[in-house]
């Protein structure tokens, strides 16, 4: 089955701790994205990557870091510099094969601060 | 670049119709519509690429007015399963392809 997986489903972070959210896709998509969603808000872009070994900051990159060493994987690290990390984090990948460049989302990771 | 959605919330009875609007201050390349159920990921509904294009699937359809830089999503004869938050995402004409800007969402509640 082709799709996007994110793990864990729930993640708890202690103050001062870095945590890493996993995102894997087997859709052979080149581009991948990380979004943050807060209650009553839309989706805000954290980082995106259009190709392996390359990524760009989105609108709210401060306190986050990413890597893109493999086409299939785009992990997001929430660092201790992110003072308000509690949110729903969504990973997406983009299908460039169809017209319009549709993005598809993984199931999400809910991050909570202890 | 974030598009503006209206209304913020809609409450319907089963079988009623609804319209959700999405407008941008920028010239648009495409408009994408998603539906998100509580606690789940957004699910892609449809994409509109050309001005004047209309698309539909069963009782959910959408239009794209390129000149007015806006799109509308039409839900007819609503069903309980239509409940959720609807987001539009826009790609600006001339911007990095694939960079989507999302509206804040419209919460749709359908009652029996």
Other residues' Cβ atoms within 10 Å of the Cβ of residue B29: 19
Would an 8 Å CB–CB cutoff place B9 in contact with chain A? no
Mean pLDDT of chain A: 91
User: What mean pLDDT is predicted for residues B12-32?
Assistant: 94
**pLDDT, tens digit (0-9, with 9 covering 90-100), for A56-103:** 999 999 999 999 999 999 999 999 888 899 999 999 999 776 566 789
Residue with the bigger pLDDT between B98 and B49: it is: B49
Chain B positions in Cβ-Cβ contact with residue A100 (cut-off 8 Å): 30, 32, 47, 49
Q: Identify whether the C-beta of residue B23 lies closer than 8 Å to the C-beta of residue B68.
A: yes
Other residues' Cβ atoms within 10 Å of the Cβ of residue B101: 21
pLDDT for the residue B97: 61
The enclosing H or E element of A7 equals: strand A4-7
User: What mean pLDDT is predicted for residues A38-59?
Assistant: 92
Nearest CA distance, A54 vs chain B (angstrom): 15
DSSP state of B88: E
Residue with the bigger pLDDT between A61 and B96: it is: A61
Contact B91 A101 (CB under 8 A): yes
pLDDT for the residue A60: 95
User: What mean pLDDT is predicted for residues A32-51?
Assistant: 92
Q: Identify whether the C-beta of residue A16 lies closer than 8 Å to the C-beta of residue A82.
A: no
Chain B positions in Cβ-Cβ contact with residue A90 (cut-off 8 Å): 41-42
The answer, yes or no, to whether residue B83 has pLDDT greater than 80, is: yes
Confidence of residue B96 (pLDDT cuts 50, 70, 90): low
What is the rounded distance in angstroms from the CA atom of residue A108 to the CA atom of residue B46?
Answer: 21
DSSP state of A77: E
User: What mean pLDDT is predicted for residues B62-69?
Assistant: 90
- Reduced to 3 states (helix: H, G, I; strand: E, B; else coil), residue B75 is strand
Chain A positions in Cβ-Cβ contact with residue B102 (cut-off 8 Å): 35, 42-44
User: What are the phi and psi torsion angles at B69 (to 5°)?
Assistant: 55, 45
DSSP state of A39: T
Among the ranges given (A84-93, B47-56, B86-95), the one the predictor scored with the smallest mean pLDDT: B47-56
Q: Identify whether the C-beta of residue B86 lies closer than 8 Å to the C-beta of residue B10.
A: no
Nearest CA distance, A18 vs chain B (angstrom): 24
Would an 8 Å CB–CB cutoff place B42 in contact with chain A? yes
The answer, yes or no, to whether residue A1 has pLDDT greater than 70, is: no
What is the rounded distance in angstroms from the CA atom of residue B82 to the CA atom of residue B100?
Answer: 23
The answer, yes or no, to whether residue B72 has pLDDT greater than 70, is: yes
Chain B positions in Cβ-Cβ contact with residue A27 (cut-off 8 Å): none
């Amino acid at each position: 089955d082709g799709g996007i997986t994110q793990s864990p489903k729930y993640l708890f972070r202690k103050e001062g701790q870095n945590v890493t959210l996993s995102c894997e896709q087997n859709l052979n998509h080149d581009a991948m994205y990380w979004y943050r969603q807060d209650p009553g808000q839309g989706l805000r872009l954290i980082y995106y990557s259009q190709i392996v070994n390359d990524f760009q900051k989105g609108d709210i990159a401060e306190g986050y870091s990413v890597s893109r060493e493999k086409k299939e994987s785009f992990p997001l690290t929430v660092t201790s510099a992110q003072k308000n990390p509690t949110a729903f984090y969504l990973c997406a990948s983009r299908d460039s094969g169809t017209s319009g460049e549709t993005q598809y989302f993984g199931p999400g990771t809910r991050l909570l601060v202890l | 670049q974030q598009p503006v959605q209206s209304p913020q919330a809609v409450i319907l009875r089963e079988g009623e119709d609804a319209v959700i609007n999405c407008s941008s201050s920028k010239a648009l390349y495409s408009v994408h519509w998603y539906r998100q159920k509580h606690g789940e990921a957004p699910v892609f509904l449809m994409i509109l690429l050309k001005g004047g294009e209309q698309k539909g699937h069963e009782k959910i359809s959408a239009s794209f007015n390129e000149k007015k830089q806006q799109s509308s999503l039409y839900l007819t004869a609503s069903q309980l399963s239509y409940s959720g938050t609807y987001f539009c995402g826009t790609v600006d004409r001339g911007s990095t392809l694939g960079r989507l800007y999302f509206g804040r969402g419209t919460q749709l509640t359908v009652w029996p």
